[in-house]
Structure 1
């Protein structure tokens, strides 16, 4: 799995414009070929910092997305930002879940099983 984090530090007076742009280009994952999810977050310490997080099945699918018109629109938001986009791409080879948390807590005598 490939995770992408895009950090955007928006000019305060351009926040609304950036949000409208992001909402116009973000599609539900089922409409974007081989994307697993898209999420947008605002930083709790700085209201002008936004994070876009996306998950991809393969690097090839991510590269197809990065070649798309929608991604070009995202790159075009530079006039709305204080700083360049900070793009981080992570290749994830192993994923653990709540079982790992329970195992660690059990080893340290803090065991309170969390079940979904």
Structure 2
């Protein structure tokens, strides 16, 4: 299982546009093969910081997502909303067994 945290620092003047533009990405990504979860979280300490928390079955699913039209199109648009470089961290995770 691959877990990705992509943190967006958004220009406050463009936050509404960012939130509108990211909705189709979320909806389409959730339908992709290999997607387990795709959720946008708002930072409770900074109203202009959002983190996309993605969970994928494997690296093949991530690679397919990263080359999809809806993803590449959004990445191009996202640059116009950001006040800092996109911060992406990926983790190899497995559920804990109790």
1:83 offset after TM fit, Å? Answer: 0.7
Q: Report what 1:52 is aligned to.
A: 52
Q: Report what 1:20 is aligned to.
A: 20
Q: Report what 1:79 is aligned to.
A: 80
Q: Which runs of 5+ in 1 are unaligned?
A: 100-116
Q: Report what 1:63 is aligned to.
A: 63
Mapped partners of 1:86, 1:37: distance in 2: 19
Higher CA-based Rg = 1
TM-score by length of structure 2 reads 0.90
Mapped partners of 1:87, 1:63: distance in 2: 14
CA distances 1:75-94 after superposition (whole Å, capped 9, x unpaired): 121111101111111111x3
**Greater RCO between the two (CA within 8 Å, min separation 6)?**
2
Q: Which runs of 5+ in 2 are unaligned?
A: none
TM-score by length of structure 1 reads 0.77
1:95 offset after TM fit, Å? Answer: 2.0
